[in-house]
């Protein structure tokens, strides 16, 4: 958090925060107790004020999981691992302080630890989708009116094997909305239209509850700052053999020219007016288990199917006051997807007290 120049305490002024947003399709694989999340969450190198983490397929998308009760044990495990990782340095510092005297400055004051404590302000699961929002403990009092809204748009247009979990809250005077999606899969011709339809359903059907005492936005597009992220499942519109050759040559820019989401955005058929950062990383799907090798064939009930790599995992945003500082992927070999991360700075009006 940084107070901007020219603002004195007791006045309204702009405050800048640093926000970490990430999406990760974990392929229905439950996390192990020793799963290391430090590299993904960038806890060793950088410091952030807010983490917004979105998962897809935290459980397999079986009929039993889609129609039955939520398996909250898996989401609680992910939440526990996230909390342990974000607060690891704080806990390490406390353990050290029990054994060693605190370092002092020349003026006699204790040297403050850079470690910050994080608290979860909202966490919500819908079948395989999970959103978990974490903020610095000292920032928690400035977060208000957290709400969630879940939309199923999978089988028959309503089942929750696909869809979205949206979270909204206010930070000081600004409203934020984060929409974590898992859109229709498939690499057949015109499958991108199903994904476009999913997006329209999510934007139109999502509605947040609101108290009569406030006038907060109920719809996604009415918020000040919006981030839509997840396994959007858009593929590369190119023949399989040509795609394979270009992937082997690492001709990412040529492949991106045929990226379905880019085309749909440019034609105004999906998310018109939204922003996405420049993609400089390789396709995030589909990998062989625990490998850097792409999986080109999948064996299913109906025989072998081809799978071409694609940038399925994406982060887009809308609204003034959000500036993207980084857009990359993380090399965690846990599932058939690689996590994608975006670092934003955001300025909000706040009373300085």
Of the pLDDT bands very low, low, confident and very high (cuts 50, 70, 90), residue 92 is low
Of the pLDDT bands very low, low, confident and very high (cuts 50, 70, 90), residue 304 is low
Would you call 55 helix, strand, or coil by DSSP? strand
Indicate the average pLDDT of the chain.
90
pLDDT at 292: 95
Residue 209 has pLDDT above 80, yes or no: yes
Answer whether residue 211 is part of any domain.
yes
Answer whether residue 311 is part of any domain.
yes
What is the total count of domains within the chain?
Answer: 1
Task: Tokens 């600004």: give the residue.
Answer: 174
Of the pLDDT bands very low, low, confident and very high (cuts 50, 70, 90), residue 299 is confident
pLDDT at 110: 38
pLDDT at 106: 45
Phi-psi region of 325 (alpha: psi -120 to 50; beta: other; left: phi over 0): alpha
**Rounded average pLDDT over 13-30:** 96
Residues of the domain holding 318: 14-89+114-351
Angstrom distances, CA of residue 196 to CA of 129, 155, 268, 272, 284: 19, 15, 10, 11, 20
Answer whether residue 8 is part of any domain.
no
Residue 297 main-chain phi, psi, to 5 deg: -140, 140
Q: How far is CA 251 from the centre of its chain?
A: 26
Residue 101 has pLDDT above 90, yes or no: no
Higher pLDDT, 312 or 214: 312
Q: pLDDT over 70 for what percent of the chain?
A: 88
Of the pLDDT bands very low, low, confident and very high (cuts 50, 70, 90), residue 6 is low
Answer whether residue 103 is part of any domain.
no
Answer whether residue 2 is part of any domain.
no
pLDDT at 8: 58
Angstrom distances, CA of residue 288 to CA of 14, 34, 56, 259: 46, 21, 18, 22
| Distance (Å, whole) CA 336 – CA 286 | 5
Answer whether residue 202 is part of any domain.
yes
- Give the CATH number of the domain where residue 31 resides: 3.60.10.10
pLDDT at 258: 97
**Rounded average pLDDT over 188-192:** 92
pLDDT at 91: 64
Question: Which region among 30-44, 94-108, 292-306 has the lowest average model confidence (pLDDT)?
Answer: 94-108
Answer whether residue 109 is part of any domain.
no
| Distance (Å, whole) CA 124 – CA 166 | 9
pLDDT at 277: 98
Total-model pTM: 0.91
pLDDT at 100: 55
Answer whether residue 295 is part of any domain.
yes
Of the pLDDT bands very low, low, confident and very high (cuts 50, 70, 90), residue 213 is confident
| Distance (Å, whole) CA 82 – CA 36 | 10
pLDDT at 306: 85
Q: Are 87 and 161 in contact (CB under 8 A)?
A: no
Higher pLDDT, 306 or 172: 172
Would you call 40 helix, strand, or coil by DSSP? helix
């Amino acid at each position: 958090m940084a107070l901007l120049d020219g603002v004195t305490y007791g006045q309204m002024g702009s405050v800048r925060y640093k926000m970490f947003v990430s999406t990760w399709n974990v392929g229905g694989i439950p996390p192990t107790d020793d799963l290391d999340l430090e590299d993904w969450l960038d806890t060793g190198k950088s410091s952030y004020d807010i983490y917004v983490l979105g998962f897809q397929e935290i459980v397999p998308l079986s009929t039993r999981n889609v129609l039955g009760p939520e398996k909250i044990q898996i989401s609680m495990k992910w939440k526990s691992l996230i909390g342990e990782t974000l607060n690891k340095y704080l806990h390490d510092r406390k353990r050290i302080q029990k054994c060693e005297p605190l370092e002092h400055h020349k003026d006699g004051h204790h040297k403050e630890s850079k470690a910050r404590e994080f608290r979860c302000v909202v966490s919500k699961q819908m079948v395989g989708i999970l959103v978990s929002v974490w903020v610095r403990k000292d920032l928690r009092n400035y977060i208000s009116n957290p709400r969630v809204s879940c939309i199923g748009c999978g089988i028959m247009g309503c089942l929750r094997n696909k869809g979205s979990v949206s979270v909204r809250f206010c930070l000081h005077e600004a409203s934020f909305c984060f929409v974590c999606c898992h859109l229709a899969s498939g690499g057949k011709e015109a499958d991108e239209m199903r994904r476009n339809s999913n997006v329209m359903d999510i934007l139109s059907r999502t509605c947040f509850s609101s108290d009569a005492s406030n006038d907060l936005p109920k719809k996604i597009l009415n918020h000040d700052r919006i981030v839509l992220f997840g396994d959007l499942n858009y593929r590369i519109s190119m023949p399989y053999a040509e795609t394979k050759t270009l992937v082997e040559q690492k001709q990412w820019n040529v492949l991106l020219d045929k990226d379905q989401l880019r085309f749909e955005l440019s034609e105004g058929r999906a998310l018109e007016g939204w922003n996405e950062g420049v993609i400089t990383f390789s396709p995030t799907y589909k990998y062989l288990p625990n490998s850097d090798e792409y999986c080109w064939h999948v064996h299913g009930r109906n025989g072998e199917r081809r799978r071409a790599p694609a940038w399925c995992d994406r982060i887009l945003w809308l609204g003034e006051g959000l500036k993207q500082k980084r857009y990359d992927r993380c090399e965690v070999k846990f599932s058939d997807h690689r996590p994608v991360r975006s670092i934003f700075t955001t300025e909000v009006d706040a009373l300085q007290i």
